[in-house]
Amino acid sequence: MNPSLIQTIVVYALPVIFAITLHEAAHGYVARLLGDNTAYMMGRVSFNPMRHIDPLGTIAIPLLLYFATGGAFMFGYAKPVPVAFRNLRNPRWGTFWVALAGPLCNFVQALLWGVLTLALAAFGVDEPFFTRMAAAGVGVNLVLGVLNLFPLPPLDGGRVLTALLPPRQALSLARFEPYGFFIVMALVMTGVLTRFWLRPLVAIGYDAVTAILTPLASLLH
């Protein structure tokens, strides 16, 4: 295996594990707060990554795509957290907050990795492994959060949009759910989603993280 690939895997391993695990756990945690214990009863409100990793979507598909495209493209997913939306005290707005919880958790994680970046600089730690890991943590979480906000079921953004739409339009959008994954894959592989959704929104995410952390950066210098 290429040494640079091994280094990249090691640098990204912890940020990716945290990003996926906490994203999925956040869905289950908020669902429990809002009336549905399904995820909790199935052990999915957990910080244990093994409860959220899908052998195919989290490991096999990303590695296959990485090697097949020479590192130019990688895509994956975790096991969806089971939520019985009808059990939520307010199914419409409960669905909204349960779906939004994952991407919001990723944005919070991006901020925390950003704080780590500032702390490393403030304490004069210039070890490349740690600085690269902190930078990877910001990037991975912004990409995962933005990708999941794409407004197409079964992605989180699709469920958020479904909750906001009038019933008839929401039902029409929900019909795309069985095909949503394949549509998103096609849009990613053709570069459409990257160019018109991921790239501009991740850039906005970086700007937001920078703006929020600027006062802290001023204090540490």
Q: What phi and psi, each to the nearest 5 degrees, are found at residue 60?
A: -65, -50
> Tens of pLDDT along 63-91?
666 666 555 555 667 788 899 999 999 99
Of the chain, the percentage scoring pLDDT greater than 70 comes to 90
- Alpha helix segments (H runs only) across the chain: 3-33, 38-41, 61-68, 91-122, 128-148, 156-164, 167-174, 177-189, 192-193, 199-220
Number of domains in the chain: 1
Asked if 111 contacts 212 with a C-beta cutoff of 8 angstroms, the reply is yes
66-75, 196-205, 207-216: least confidently modelled range = 66-75
> What pLDDT was estimated at residue 16?
85
What residues make up the domain containing 23? 3-220
Q: State the residue for tokens 């990613």.
A: 188
Dihedral of the alpha carbons of 39, 44, 46, 51, in degrees to the nearest 10 = 180
Q: Which residue has the higher pLDDT, 180 or 62?
A: 180
For residue 42, give Cα distances in angstroms to 39, 75, 154.
5, 26, 20
Q: Which of 64, 63, 61, 50 is nearest to 20 (CA)?
A: 50
> Tens of pLDDT along 148-190?
999 999 999 999 999 999 999 999 999 999 999 889 888 988 8
Q: Whole-number mean pLDDT of the chain? A: 89
Question: For this structure, is 127 an active site residue?
Answer: no
DSSP states of 84-126: -GGGSSSHHHHHHHHHHHHHHHHHHHHHHHHHHHHHHHHTT--
Distance, in Å, from the CA atom of 32 to the CA atom of 60, rounded to the nearest integer, reads: 31
Q: Which residue has the higher pLDDT, 2 or 15?
A: 15
Distance, in Å, from the CA atom of 158 to the CA atom of 99, rounded to the nearest integer, reads: 9
Out of 15, 20, 23, 24, the active site residue is: 24
> What pLDDT was estimated at residue 4?
74
Q: Which residue has the higher pLDDT, 8 or 160?
A: 160
Q: Which of 53, 174, 48, 158 is nearest to 103 (CA)?
A: 158
Contacts of 43 (CB under 8 A, 6+ apart): 51
**Amino acid symbol at 66:** Y
Instruction: For residues 133-162, give the mean pLDDT.
Output: 94
